[in-house]
Chains A and B, each alone.
Chain A
Amino acid sequence: GIQVEQSPPDLILQEGANSTLRCNFSDSVNNLQWFHQNPWGQLINLFYIPSGTKQNGRLSATTVATERYSLLYISSSQTTDSGVYFCASTLTGGGNKLTFGTGTQLKVEL
């Protein structure tokens, strides 16, 4: 299966700061997605982004499929952004198995 590496593993920000989270894949992938797991454990789908760039409020994501990576940008961070951010994808041609990275633990402080 594919290997999914996320960096950094941990991140502490002051409220209002910007950050970039990275996701690298070992093989060609499609159906790349970003998730946020809040401190109560709930997983929320942020972006479905197999390629290109999407924006949703203060969050945006870019996937460069040919270079096997994706980036999640958080601007003007807020304490409610705290939690774990996961990227996940399926292997091209391997359709059904969504593989997750180990996540980036983000804490936003006042």
Chain B
Amino acid sequence: NAGVTQTPKFQVLKTGQSMTLQCAQDMNHEYMSWYRQDPGMGLRLIHYSVGAGITDQGEVPNGYNVSRSTTEDFPLRLLSAAPSQTSVYFCASSYEVGGLGGYTFGSGTRLTVV
């Protein structure tokens, strides 16, 4: 099925551990982005990419790294997990940078840092 696939769906980390959240899309979308969703705060942009090899920071980039080696994949790396990074993470893609045609979201990764 075409769409955005995120793995894992759930993850528990200890403070200081590192991990990578995976995101893949098969729609040949140029634009991909990562959001975190916290209660009462909506979705906040972490990092985004307008194409392979190009990434940029969003609203809350600290503690996260991204890379975009292919059009299909956009992994999010937590370098040293902290309890403040407990959140639900969503990956999204769209055909054009401005979202023309709409965004497609993955099903999310629920991360708990203890």
User: When the two chains form their complex, are residues B48 and A97 in contact, meaning their CB atoms are under 8 A apart?
Assistant: yes
Q: Tell me whether A101 is interfacial, beta carbon within 8 Å.
A: yes
**A45 touching B31 in the complex, CB below 8 Å, given contacts A86-B42, A99-B45:** no
Size of interface on B: residues with Cβ below 8 Å to A: 28
How many A residues, CB 8 Å from partner? 25
Known: A1-B59, A31-B100, A45-B103. A102 touches B44 (CB 8 A): no
Please state if A48 and B105 are interface contacts (CB–CB under 8 Å): no
Given the contacts A48-B101, A95-B98, A100 and B48 also touching, CB distance less than 8 Å: no
19 contacts between A and B (CB under 8 A): A41-B88, A41-B108, A43-B90, A43-B105, A45-B102, A45-B103, A45-B104, A48-B99, A48-B100, A48-B101, A96-B98, A97-B45, A97-B48, A97-B59, A98-B45, A99-B59, A100-B35, A100-B42, A100-B44
Chain A residues within CB distance 8 Å of chain B: 1, 4, 30-31, 33, 35, 41-45, 47-48, 86, 88, 90, 95-103
